[in-house]
Amino acid sequence: MLLVGYNTQFSKGKDGRIDIDRVASAIKDADIVALQEVERHWRRSGDADQPAEMAKRFPKHHWVYGPYFDVDASRVAGDGTVENRRRQFGVMTLSRWPILSTRLFTLPKFKTGKVFSMIAGVLETVIAAPGGALRVYNIHLNDVTPDERLAQIAKLFDVLRTAPQEGGTWSGADPEWQTDTPPPMPEDAIVLGDFNTLPGSPEYEALVGPMDRDFGYGRVDVGHRLVDAWVATGHGEMDGITFPGDAPGGKDMPCRIDYIFTTLGLAPRLKRCWIDAKAEGSDHLPVWAELG
C-alpha cells in the first residue's frame, strides 16, 4: 500500500506556473493521497475548482475535500440574483478504496498582528483498506509562530485520542435514520501533511517525544506519541529535504517540514519511506511511504 503527502501550493511550481497535471502525475501511483493547499475560486489560480479538477485526473479514486478556510465569493447579477460561491482553501484526500466516513476539524488560531496568518485544519478519513479500515489524517499547520503550532499539535492529539472512544460517525441503529452497519473508528492512525516544523524543534518533540539525554536511549517510540515514518525506515532524523527553499543565502533554506507519522501500532507495517526530489508541481516535494 502506497501513501503520499504533498503540499501542492495550489499547484504552483517553483517556476511560477500553475499546472494541476504536474501534481497529478507525481502522485498517480499512490493508493492514498493527502494533498494540502488545494483551493476553489481564487483569482491567483484562475478561479478554478481545484478539488474537482484533481478528481477528474483520478477517476478510479474516492475523494473528499476539507475546506477549513471558507469565505464569501458570491457574485450578484444586475437583477439582484445571487450566484452563491465560496472562496475555499484546504486539504484533499483521495483513496483507491471507499472513504467510509470523514470529519473536518479546525485547529487553534492566534491573532498575529500585521503578520498574515489564517485558519488551519485537519481532515479525518476512515478508509476501507484491504486488511482492515485505516484512520487517516490530512493536516496543515501554520508557519507563523511555534506557540500556535504547539496548540495545533495538542488539538491533533486530542482528536487522535478521543476518536476511538467516541466510535464511528454514528452508533447503534435506527431504521428511519440509517440501517447500515456503523463505520469503524480504528485505534491506530496515519497522519500526513505539512507541519511547518523542523526535526529537533519543540514542535517535533511534541509529536514524537523528547530525546533521552541522560541514559542514551535516544528518542524512544512511546504509545501516546507518533512515529516518524522517515526515521522508522532507516533515515537520519536530520536528513531529507521536502521544502527545497531558495538558493543559499535566501530567506527559506532547504529543510524537512512535511511528514508521514503513524501511531505505534502501525509502525511495524512501515516498509520504506522516500521523498520525490524530481516533482516540479509545487514549492514542496511529495513524501511517500509503503505500508505492508
User: CATH number for the domain including 211?
Assistant: 3.60.10.10
Radius of gyration of the chain (CA): 19
In a domain, 269, yes or no: yes
Which residue stretches of the chain have pLDDT < 50? 247
By CB atoms closer than 10 A (0-12, 13-18, 19+), residue 215 is: exposed
Report the pLDDT value the prediction gives residue 17, as an integer from 0 to 100. 95
Range of the domain at 263: 2-73+84-172+180-291
Distance CA 169, CA 6 (A): 27
> What's the distance, CA 23 to chain centroid?
15
In a domain, 78, yes or no: no
In a domain, 56, yes or no: yes
Q: Strand 270-275 relative to strand 287-291: parallel, antiparallel, unpaired?
A: antiparallel
Q: What is the tally of structural domains in the chain?
A: 1
Which residues make Cβ contacts (< 8 Å) with residue 91, sequence separation at least 6? 34, 35, 36, 38, 65, 66, 68, 121, 122, 123, 138, 139, 140, 193
In a domain, 12, yes or no: yes
What cell numbers appear for 119 in the block?
Answer: 485558519
- Residues linked to residue 287 through DSSP beta bridges, in sequence order: 5, 275
**Tens digit of each residue's pLDDT (9 = 90 or more) over 116-166:** 999 999 999 999 999 999 999 999 999 999 999 999 999 999 999 999 999
In a domain, 166, yes or no: yes
What cell numbers appear for 68 in the block?
Answer: 477549513
Distance CA 241, CA 131 (A): 32
Contact in structure between 285 and 243 (CB atoms under 8 Å):
yes
Distance CA 276, CA 5 (A): 11
In a domain, 116, yes or no: yes
Q: Strand 134-140 relative to strand 227-228: parallel, antiparallel, unpaired?
A: unpaired
Report the pLDDT value the prediction gives residue 14, as an integer from 0 to 100. 87
Distance CA 111, CA 234 (A): 39
Contact in structure between 6 and 139 (CB atoms under 8 Å):
no
